[in-house]
């Protein structure tokens, strides 16, 4: 952590900065998180270049957990995003993004990094908000999105580091090509349980 300030939201452990601190505000049970210009988390599989200068607010996660939020983004430039993250170290992390595509469309995108980043576009969304869910179940992580916060569509299942590796989880905003963006996270839920049927919609 580069900044010792903590942010508190009902139902979540205290949040602290990972990497560079940025603009953040907590009000009415929601978190608004700002990204600076040219900020991202990525390790290019083409060049090996690594960027970890986007601001994240995170907390130590349980061995099994479910984190979800309604994510709204003031999209302006390509790859602007509001993100749920799971972070183990600079070479081992994952992002579930609500991101602005090069075609100017909001999308659900996942990035899994184990040394290099594996980037996968999932589905276009016809609005500027969506529900995202990131969970750890046993040795693996699973990602979902939802249009109503009730029925969850499967995005991705993967492992990061060895089973039991300590993980921080939380929220990130990024603007890799732009001058900055604000992501707002509301209807936050963090629970310590394991999703059993990953594709049931529950």
Which CATH number does the domain housing residue 34 bear?
Answer: 2.60.120.200
User: What is the count of structural domains for the chain?
Assistant: 1
The pTM score is 0.96
| 198 within a domain of the structure (yes/no) | no
| 200 within a domain of the structure (yes/no) | no
Q: Which SS3 state, helix, strand or coil, does residue 36 take?
A: coil
* Residue 3 pLDDT: 56
| 127 within a domain of the structure (yes/no) | yes
| 131 within a domain of the structure (yes/no) | yes
Closest to 156 in 3D by CA, of 194, 108, 191, 202: 108
| 71 within a domain of the structure (yes/no) | yes
* Residue 1 pLDDT: 42
Closest to 172 in 3D by CA, of 164, 181, 163, 162: 181
pLDDT digits (tens, 9 = 90+) for 146-163: 999 999 999 999 999 998
Instruction: Give the dihedral sign, CA 199/162/97/137.
Output: positive
* Residue 4 pLDDT: 64
Residue 33 is encoded by which pair of tokens? 């998180």
Paired strand residues for 142 = 135, 157
| 1 within a domain of the structure (yes/no) | no
How far apart are the C-alpha atoms of 105 and 98, rounded to whole Å?
10
* Residue 20 pLDDT: 79
Count of all residues that appear for the chain in the document: 202
- Domain that residue 111 falls in: 6-189
| 134 within a domain of the structure (yes/no) | yes
* Residue 140 pLDDT: 96
Along the chain (202 residues), what's the average pLDDT of each consecutive run of 10 residues?
75 92 93 96 95 96 97 98 97 98 97 97 97 96 98 98 94 97 98 95 96
* Residue 97 pLDDT: 98
69 near 30, Cβ under 8 Å? no
How far apart are the C-alpha atoms of 106 and 131, rounded to whole Å?
13
> What is the share, in percent, of the chain residues with pLDDT greater than 90?
94
| 44 within a domain of the structure (yes/no) | yes
């Amino acid at each position: 952590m580069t900044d010792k300030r903590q942010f508190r939201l009902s139902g979540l452990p205290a949040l602290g900065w990972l990497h560079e601190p940025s603009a953040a505000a907590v009000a009415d049970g929601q978190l608004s998180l700002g990204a600076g210009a040219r900020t991202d988390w990525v390790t290019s599989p083409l060049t090996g270049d690594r960027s970890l200068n986007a601001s994240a607010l995170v907390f130590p996660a349980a061995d099994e957990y479910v984190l979800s939020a309604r994510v709204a983004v003031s999209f302006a430039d390509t790859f602007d995003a509001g993100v749920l993250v799971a972070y183990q170290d600079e070479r081992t992390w994952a992002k579930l993004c609500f991101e602005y595509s090069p075609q100017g469309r909001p999308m659900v995108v996942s990035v899994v990094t184990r040394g290099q980043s594996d980037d996968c576009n999932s589905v276009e969304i016809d609005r500027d908000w969506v529900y995202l869910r990131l969970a750890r179940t046993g040795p693996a992580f699973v990602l979902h999105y939802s249009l109503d916060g009730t029925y969850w569509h499967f995005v991705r299942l993967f492992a990061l580091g060895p089973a039991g590796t300590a993980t921080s989880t939380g929220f990130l905003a990024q603007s890799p090509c732009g001058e900055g963006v604000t992501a707002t996270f509301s209807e936050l839920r963090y629970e310590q349980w394991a999703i059993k049927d990953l594709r049931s919609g529950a």
